[in-house]
Amino acid sequence: MIMRVMGEGQFQVGDDHLNHLNQLDDELLTALEAGDEERFRDSLGKLLAAVRQYGTPLPDDSLEPSDLILPNVEATITEVTAMLRGEGDGLIPGFPD
């Protein structure tokens, strides 16, 4: 799966890491729903760090379409909430735990 982190680039992430990323996404969603800025910052940082850790960066000139677009670490709660795909889905929807 190709994930784009806004302002950073694209990462090819193997399916074997999607469950872990989905768990981090669930933590982020919980923080968003609670309006907890500190937990939101922590959860977003962990999610993006995991994408960088498990993903292989694609070259900047790559023209691959992204399967998911994730906010950058500077994104606000309001911006991330606007990116959600569906109620309760989080940023990485559709992948069972």
Task: Decide if 76 is inside a domain.
Answer: yes
Task: Decide if 72 is inside a domain.
Answer: yes
Q: Structurally, how many domains does the chain consist of? A: 1
**pLDDT for residue 26 is more than 90:** yes
Task: Decide if 92 is inside a domain.
Answer: no
What is the rounded average pLDDT of the residues 50-60? 96
Range of the domain at 11: 2-83
- The mean pLDDT value of the chain amounts to 90
**pLDDT for residue 16 is more than 50:** yes
Task: Decide if 89 is inside a domain.
Answer: no
pTM of the model: 0.88
End-to-end CA distance of the chain: 16
The H or E element spanning position 48 is helix 37-54
Q: How far is Cα 39 from Cα 19, in angstroms, rounded to an integer? A: 20
